[in-house]
Amino acid sequence: MQKLALANLGRFFEAVAARQALYLPVEDAGGQASFQRWAPGAKLSGALNTTRSAKDFFFPQTEDLVNFKVRGKEIEIIDPRTEQEPFVVFGVRGCDARSFSILDKVFLADPVDTYYQSRREHGTIVSLACTRPEETCFCTSFGIDPTCPQGDVTAWMEGDALYFAANTPKGEALLAQTAELLEACGDEAVRAQQERVSAILEKLPLAGFSTQSFGGQVLIQVFESEKWAGLSQSCLGCGTCTFVCPTCQCYDIKDMDTGHGVQRFRCWDSCMYSDFTRMAHGNPRLTQKERFRQRFMHKLVYFPANNNGEYGCVGCGRCLAKCPISMNIVKVARALEGDCK
């Protein structure tokens, strides 16, 4: 384990940013935290988490896939990708850090999504242990330990120091870049923080929440539950829950006529939208109830059925905080629990 005096945090960021792009959570005037590229004077946010998740780094909201240039009867196919630069994302919380392994199961499965793959290869994740979990947090329900988050490097902020442990060769290389600012140390301070925060986690309102009764084995029972109608009745179909979610990964591909060719791009889509998965024959989900059901079936039933029991949720709590009608995965799971028999 290595230690950085917090007084040297600015120098640490400067040293990292000198070698690769560095992103960290900073706050806007309204106090909302978002990942932004480091620039001199940037101040690390003290917020528990960012409004938008860290998935944006690997699966951006919009992305050009291919361009077609048309000259008479000739079509030139242009790959718009430029060589990715290495980058570091600092301050990823345990829930978002786990979301990458869920996204990997989708985008790195055959056929591999090379756009996502390239970003994953160029990105180094420095996760930051949580010290003030909120009432909407329930990552521990999915076996995540926010006091020791995954990542290439795990960091803990405690007292007047930042403690680091490298978990991968990428993480070791990153710490080697800043070696002159770090000193070897014991893990007593980190352990004390973990004990303190673990005690808080046990007292959170959602500490006992579990999705263990869901999964592929209850597909029919849950799908056919009569409770979907009531649960979805007030859903506005706004898609907020899907856009803030670190594990939602649906996208649409569109072609734009540029006048002298075609620009093909993808952008996030939402299963909550009425034109989602619309095909030549029409739309397979005609009602908001069916669309609402799709989102939660995917996270609680379809995803674990196809991924050795892993749920498509990391308990980040964003949908609990952001849904305008206060609907969320916890309410849905609790309402449907009785149908999992």
Give the interface with ligand SF4 as residue ranges (CB under 6 A).
Answer: 235-241, 244-247, 272, 299, 313-319, 323-325, 327, 329
Instruction: Characterise 31 by phi-psi region: left (phi > 0), alpha (psi -120 to 50), beta (else).
Output: left
Between 256 and 325, whose beta carbon lies closer to ligand SF4?
A: 325
- Min CB(11)–ligand SF4 separation in Å: 34
Q: Can the peptide bond before residue 111 be classed as cis, meaning omega within 30 degrees of 0? A: yes
- Min CB(166)–ligand SF4 separation in Å: 27
Q: Are 280 and 291 in contact (CB under 8 A)?
A: no
H/E element, 255: strand 251-257
Q: What single-letter amino acid sits at 164?
A: F
The tokens describing 186, both together, are: 């014991």
Between 293 and 299, whose beta carbon lies closer to ligand SF4?
A: 299
Query: What distance lies between CA 122 and its chain's CA centroid?
Result: 17
Between 116 and 303, whose beta carbon lies closer to ligand SF4?
A: 303
Residue (of 320, 292, 303) closest to 104 by Cα position: 303
Between 182 and 329, whose beta carbon lies closer to ligand SF4?
A: 329
Between 190 and 245, whose beta carbon lies closer to ligand SF4?
A: 245
Residue (of 263, 267, 286, 266) closest to 275 by Cα position: 286
- Min CB(8)–ligand SF4 separation in Å: 34
- Min CB(118)–ligand SF4 separation in Å: 24
- Min CB(210)–ligand SF4 separation in Å: 14
> What does the alpha-carbon distance between residue 105 and residue 216 come to, in Å, rounded to a whole number?
17
